[in-house]
Amino acid sequence: MATTRSLVKTSAAIEGATGIALITDPSFVVRALVGVGLSRGGIAVGRLAGIGLLSLGLACWPIGHEATPQATRALFTYNSLAALYLGYLRVGEGFLGYLLWPACGLHALLAVLLARPAHDHETVGQA
């Protein structure tokens, strides 16, 4: 089984790479994810979202031998909410991008794998 550090590192790397992709070409990422194009305003907001994801990835990147509790909780929360929202976009809104289900599944998997470490870190701080 993967360690919390490797899970956090993997999730942080995915978010950082997605952030770079959004900064570089938000229209491509959005078309692949939800199957629609972007307006000029959408491109600007997509790049801003990319900056946020790159920042999240950098802030959560483990430096020592263990991931911090804050990084673990942040990535658990992000992956949980991202999986729910991506699933809603497909089921509730009918978007059909070819990466929508894979992205939803990846975020759901990471959320499940990070759930216990995020909870364990939380309960350790309460003891």
Can you tell me which residue has the tokens 């509790």?
Answer: 69
Give the pLDDT confidence of 92-107 residue by residue, as tens digits: 999 999 999 999 999 9
Give the pLDDT confidence of 21-59 residue by residue, as tens digits: 999 999 999 999 999 999 999 999 999 999 999 999 999
Q: How far apart are CA 73 and CA 80, in angstroms?
A: 10
- The reply to whether the predicted model has a pTM over 0.95 is no
- Per DSSP, the three-state class of 64 is coil
